[in-house]
Amino acid sequence: MKLAVAGTGYVGLVTAVCLAEKGHDVTCVDVDKQKIELLQSGVSPIFEQDLEGLMARNAERLHYTTDYESAYRDAEIVFIGVGTPEKKDGSANLTYVYSAAKQIAETVRRDCAVVLKSTVPIGTNEKIEKIMHDYKVPEVMIHVVSNPEFLAQGTAVRDTLFPSRIVVGVEDGQAERIMREVYKGFEAPLLVTNRRSAEMIKYASNDFLALKISYINEIANLCELVGANVQDVAKGMGFDPRIGSKFLNAGIGYGGSCFPKDTKALHWLASMNDYELKTVKAAIEVNEQQKLKLIKKARKYYDNLKGLTVAVLGLTFKPGTDDLREAPSLVNIPILLEDGAYVRAFDPIGVPNFKKYIEQTGVEGLDNLSYYESIEETINGADICFIFTEWDVIKQYESKNYKKLMKKAIVLDGRNCLDVVSSDGLIYECIGK
Ligand code: UDX
């Protein structure tokens, strides 16, 4: 099929490349000229495993342009995969979605489906339909479809090629036929429902996972108080298929582009409907507290962090990505700097993005922040070490070096990723043990 995709971020680009892999002809559209030029030269603007390889393999079926008119005019399906960032009040900012929708409506000249991949509040697809109605030429028929994605960063290509499910929200039979055709090559359960339910499935899924994480984090906090081991507790719980073993890793809270935003957006949506979503609200509050867990632990050893050298291992919100959005490092490092600590940071790929973020925050004490290319250099002479991200290189690092290289070997592991116990000359603390 001839497809177009609006937006070349995580959702848009990965969707486009995976649909090309399944044999479709796909044109990617973005307003950012630099991004398009990069893509045209075969380079992905985002770090995502397997993506560039797939781009190269499907080069003849993939096109990149800023000229949206030529891309949308004859497309059988136009996917919308632009961002829906969080507004100050917690609601989703739909400016990019609406402006892409208007461009599509004004441009298409054949009957087609407009498919919303971006995560949007319940009822947004109806607004898109109204935009289509108001701006399209009268002779074309546009079917608006909700088709949320469930990809996780770092495994986005695999999650898209081999999805756990495909959810399609439609209001008419022709839209369903078009969607069945485009996903013909995928082996996954395909759930057809109405658009509002499809929109809700996305939020309900993400918020449930966030809830699961906040729940195990609270259990971890309690384990610390009563002398239990959260990893064993999670393992014991996970054998029950009704609970499941995934997303029960306790740590310093969830980050990323979805869970923090989608929990707040659903909570906001509920409040707009005079309903309080108490479980989701609790998950948000627990997560905010959990992000500060290592700093609280550090204060047991030092009343004041002023003048201390703090090694930070891992900056990104999870391994396998250079994404910093809502990462615990972004909350913790400014606190450390404001407390007057000298911070030495290491991340295999997240440093360039981290520098951009931290410089925008206007935080004081940036002169006391330095970056290193190896774990050795980062921990050398440090008074305490924080682990924020469970990168393999951090997990596999020789633990005896902490004792050897640090001035005072206190290692606080926010991801329970080291296999270490406290011993003479080494204090090791993780979450929930
Ligand atoms: C998530 C969903 O998994 C995906 O389905 C959705 O489409 C987008 O949001 P992503 O944000 O890329 O994907 O990452 P994910 O692997 O889900 O992790 C999110 C955060 O939760 C990370 O900060 C991670 O460290 C944290 N997490 C995850 C835990 O703290 N414990 C866990 O057990 C699992």
Q: To test the ligand 1 pocket, which listed residue (259, 286, 289, 321) has its Cβ within 8 A of the most ligand atoms?
A: 259
What does the alpha-carbon distance between residue 30 and residue 69 come to, in Å, rounded to a whole number? 12
Domain identity same for 265 and 324 = no
Q: What is the CA(5)–ligand 1 centre distance, in A?
A: 25
- In the block, residue with structure tokens 């002479």: 381
**Residue located nearest, by CA, to atom 11 of ligand 1:** 256
Q: To test the ligand 1 pocket, which listed residue (119, 213, 217, 291) has its Cβ within 8 A of the most ligand atoms?
A: 213
For residue 394, give the amino acid letter. I
Domain identity same for 324 and 390 = yes
Closest CA to 405 of 430, 429, 426: 426
Is 114:132 a contact under the CB 8 Å cutoff?
yes
What per-residue confidence (pLDDT) applies to 362?
85
Catalytically annotated residue among 258, 385, 417, 430: 258
**Residue located nearest, by CA, to atom 33 of ligand 1:** 247
Query: Is residue 30 marked as binding?
Result: yes
Which residues form the domain of 107?
2-193
Domain identity same for 250 and 312 = no
What does the alpha-carbon distance between residue 91 and residue 42 come to, in Å, rounded to a whole number? 35
Domain identity same for 299 and 284 = no
Domain identity same for 37 and 175 = yes
Listed residues 271, 289, 307: the one ending a domain: 289
Report mean pLDDT in 10-residue bins for the chain, 433 residues.
96 97 98 96 93 97 97 98 88 93 97 95 95 97 97 94 98 97 97 97 97 98 98 98 98 96 94 97 98 96 95 96 94 95 97 93 91 98 98 96 97 96 94 96
Q: What ipTM is given for this predicted complex?
A: 0.98
Domain identity same for 178 and 224 = no
Domain identity same for 265 and 128 = no
Listed residues 193, 215, 237: the one ending a domain: 193
What does the alpha-carbon distance between residue 224 and residue 233 come to, in Å, rounded to a whole number? 12
Domain identity same for 68 and 176 = yes
What does the alpha-carbon distance between residue 150 and residue 154 come to, in Å, rounded to a whole number? 13
The CATH number of the domain holding residue 246 is: 1.10.1040.10
- In the block, residue with structure tokens 């891309």: 71
Listed residues 289, 306, 334: the one ending a domain: 289
Domain identity same for 419 and 362 = yes
Does the reported pTM lie above 0.90? yes
Query: Is residue 261 marked as binding?
Result: yes
Work out which ligand 1 atom sits closest to the CA atom of 210: 21
What does the alpha-carbon distance between residue 228 and residue 275 come to, in Å, rounded to a whole number? 36
How many domains in the chain?
3
Domain identity same for 306 and 188 = no
The CATH number of the domain holding residue 59 is: 3.40.50.720
Domain identity same for 275 and 362 = no
What does the alpha-carbon distance between residue 117 and residue 198 come to, in Å, rounded to a whole number? 10
What per-residue confidence (pLDDT) applies to 332?
97
Q: Where are the alpha helices (DSSP H) in 108-184?
A: 124-135, 156-161, 173-182
Annotated catalytic residue 258: yes
Q: What is the CA(256)–ligand 1 centre distance, in A?
A: 7
Q: What is the CA(255)–ligand 1 centre distance, in A?
A: 7
Q: What is the CA(120)–ligand 1 centre distance, in A?
A: 18
